[in-house]
A and B are shown apart, each in its own frame.
Chain A
Amino acid sequence: MIPLSPTTIGAVARDVLKEATSSKMMLALLLTIGLFLLALTLSLDLDVVDGALAGSRIFGRAAGTAIVPVDVFLRPAFQALAWVTFYVGLLFGIVATADIAPRLLQPGRVEHLLALPIRRVELVIGTYLGVCAICAIATVFAVGGVSLVLFAKAKMVTVAPAAGAAMAFVAFAAIYGVMMAVGVLFRSAALSAGAGLLTYIMGVAVSEKNVMLMWTTNKPLRTVLEVVSAPIPNLRALADVGAGAAAGEAVALQAVLPMVGGAAAFAACGVLLAAAIVQSRDY
């Protein structure tokens, strides 16, 4: 086993993060989140009386007149929020981060990095962690913003949005492993994004494995589909956990942990594959 230096891995991650924070994609991501929060602030209009809802308007439409507890009223909204964060955030993340690894390996850049006291494996792991950190920061920004708006408007303190976002983060970390492997193999942002989208689609489809297998009666093809889809994290299941937690349902850890573990193992495989590719290459 090669001894790895956490300091070096940290320094690589730091540079990746530093470069991303000044990229246009990252700016767009943060701006989008910011605009969403602004829209939410302006459109959410709750009358809270002693923790119960006297009246409310979301996006201008009256949402019933019956007096209900705020958290009960907001449950579907939280759920929707978790779904949006998960599916849209994931897509945005895939597109926004696709060029990071290929850019590090661009001619003129990779030679310089590899001549520094950085092991190739450290470069790959550091880059992966840096991208995950970007994703985490965007998530925290979004979740923090939503929580703040809710607190300001309804005097409500809740960790619900964070639960949904956490699942989105887990899913992204898994998908980015694949993106990284493809990104370093072809040194192409487009192919990296393509691989990410494919994993995304497959990840949604695996929950409907039977539907997926209905596409074809060809036996070998069905076997291939089964085998290929087996390790892919079930995105719908992850999204449902997030949405459920967002709506205040108790999280069944014995169901969630294997899912998270599976996603982590999937991510690790992608990173290891990427490391093996970079390790074997000439630059």
Chain B
Amino acid sequence: MTADDDDVRLCDHGPMSAGPVHDAVSATGLTKRFGGVQAVRGISLTVPAGARFGLIGQNGAGKTTFIKMMLGICRHDEGSIRVLGSDPEDVSVRRRIGYLPERLAIPPSFSALAFLDSVARYKGIAAERRRGECRDLLQLVGLEESAWDRKTGGYSKGMRQRTGLAAALVGKPDLLVLDEPTDGIDPMGRRQIRDVILDVAKGGATLFLNSHLLQETEKVCDHVAVLHQGQVVVAGALSVLQRKDSFRVAFRRPDAAALVAVANEQGFVVDDSHERDAGHHHHDADRLVTRFTGTDAGALSQALARAIGAGLVVVEVAPELVELETILMRSMAPAGGAPTTPTTTTTTTTDGARP
């Protein structure tokens, strides 16, 4: 999850490779009003090329509207937006974008193969390569082969969604924009889709993911932005946003109370918040979970050495991370307020640690 080095990753295919490397998406002061609704109020946002970017926010925050403006489906009122270095309405740039809309309506009389073939045709893929590529993609997204030639009108929601994802992948896009891709997909399928998405991102494509499943965003993305009432309230590399200047250290629960005191002396503050957290870490009965504040690994090692010397047994050491959920909640707390930096406030007790 080292996001910072992703910023400079080169986009090594497409006509842009010769020129300067552009941000995949860069918006400044974007606004959009629908009648009486100000859907977007001044979004400035940059998605570095090659990033795995996640957009999160409540219903009606303006996420889909932003995506539509990004793709030229909907025009912005003020501000400017560039996608892969060009205007969103530039046809040649759209050839390099794959998009899965929020509620995709596939022509019901088309089979999955016919639908993908049509998309491939629009993307200018040569006839002899089309069929093979479409079949490979349907295989990749895990649509059962017996359904490929059946009308999509008879598909289940998840099958349609998979077909839509395959369609978004046609022509190896440089920018993959997914608006709630795992909506309607079963848990096993979600994992499969996540792997597919990650594979595509590994190939150098920029990923733009809008999902309500924070775990999904957390697992897939390296950059996030939180939209709230049409504004960006938090944006940045996930590794920075999640950073918390402490470690979670768990010891095997000692028999003697004296040992707990030793741990305390060395700076391992017993953290029993998890025990209050119903259903969470319930296996911790035989563990003494503590928090060690500081980022200095040397200090931590010394403290650990002394604790071990005194007879404590370490079972887990992990840097503490702020959960995305917490970042989201905090960012929305000051209604319409200035962007907050979650790294400076560590008052919450629900932060989970990740090994």
A264 interface hit (Cβ, 8 Å): no
CA distance in complex: A22, B115 (Å): 14
Additional A-B contact list (17), CB under 8 Å, known A106-B105, A117-B123: A5-B91, A7-B124, A19-B109, A23-B109, A108-B102, A108-B104, A109-B107, A111-B71, A114-B71, A114-B72, A115-B94, A115-B97, A115-B99, A117-B94, A117-B95, A282-B74, A283-B74
B114 interface hit (Cβ, 8 Å): yes
A116 interface hit (Cβ, 8 Å): yes
Q: How large is the interface on B (under 10, 10 to 19, 20 to 34, 35 or more residues)?
A: 20 to 34
Binding site for A on B (CB under 8 A): 34, 68, 71-75, 91-92, 94-95, 97, 99, 101-105, 107, 109-110, 114, 118-119, 121-124, 151, 164, 167, 177
Check B122–A117 contact: CB distance below 8 A.
yes
Binding site for B on A (CB under 8 A): 5, 7-8, 11, 14-15, 18-19, 22-23, 106-112, 114-119, 282-283
What is the number of contacts between chain A and chain B, taking CB atoms within 8 Å?
Answer: 76
- Cβ contacts under 8 Å, B95 to chain A: 117
Check A18–B122 contact: CB distance below 8 A.
no
Check A22–B109 contact: CB distance below 8 A.
yes
Check A119–B121 contact: CB distance below 8 A.
no
With A8-B122, A19-B107 known as contacts, the answer to whether A119 contacts B91 (CB < 8 A) is yes
Check A116–B123 contact: CB distance below 8 A.
yes
With A112-B101, A112-B104 known as contacts, the answer to whether A118 contacts B109 (CB < 8 A) is no
B259 to chain A, nearest CB (A): 61
- Cβ contacts under 8 Å, B101 to chain A: 108, 111-112, 115
Check B73–A111 contact: CB distance below 8 A.
yes
- Cβ contacts under 8 Å, A5 to chain B: 91
A15 interface neighbour in B75, B102, B118, B167, Cβ under 8 Å? B118
Closest to A114 in B: B73
Top 3 A-B pairs ranked by shortest CB distance?
A108-B105, A22-B109, A115-B99
A29 to chain B, nearest CB (A): 16
Check A117–B124 contact: CB distance below 8 A.
yes
Check B122–A11 contact: CB distance below 8 A.
yes
Check B103–A112 contact: CB distance below 8 A.
no
